Amino acid sequence: MNYNQAQQRVNDLKKFYKSILWFGIVAVIIFADDIFEKGIFNFSLWNGSIILLIWGIVLTVKAVKLFLLDEEWEKDVIEKEMKKSKQPLKF
């Protein structure tokens, strides 16, 4: 990995962690508002949480792309595919 790739990875990680932080802050605000309005015994997880659900799905996709489907994974898959395509010579 060269310097530019490493710098881009660090920037992507920084953006991802900022997104996680903002997600947590917004989730706490939404859930705290619901608890104060309806009380702890009438609290429903689904009221006002559709935004958090969509945001959570987007963050999950970003996490998979950032941590699981990274450059190393891509290189491994390319090498495996190249090995599969090599066919033995028949005489």
Q: Confirm whether 27 is domain-assigned.
A: yes
90 within domain boundaries: no
Proportion of the chain in helix, strand, coil states, percent, rounded to 5:
75, 0, 25
Q: What is the DSSP string of 42-79?
A: S--TTTT-HHHHHHHHHHHHHHIIIIISSHHHHHHHHH
| Number of domains forming the structure of the chain | 1
Q: Say if residue 46's pLDDT is above 90.
A: no
Question: Cβ of 34: how many Cβ atoms within 10 Å?
Answer: 19
Residue 5 CB partners (closer than 8 Å, separation 6+): 71
Average the pLDDT over 6-28 and give the result.
91
pLDDT at 58: 93
pLDDT digits (tens, 9 = 90+) for 48-65: 678 888 889 999 999 998
Is residue 56 included in any domain, yes or no?
Answer: yes
Q: Is the pLDDT of residue 20 over 60?
A: yes
Confidence of residue 84 (pLDDT cuts 50, 70, 90): confident
User: What's the pLDDT at 48?
Assistant: 62
Residue 43 domain-assigned (yes or no): yes
Quick check: is 91 in a domain? no
Task: Tell me, yes or no, whether 77 lies in a domain.
Answer: yes
Expressed as residue numbers, the domain containing 64 is 3-85
Q: Quote the pTM value.
A: 0.68
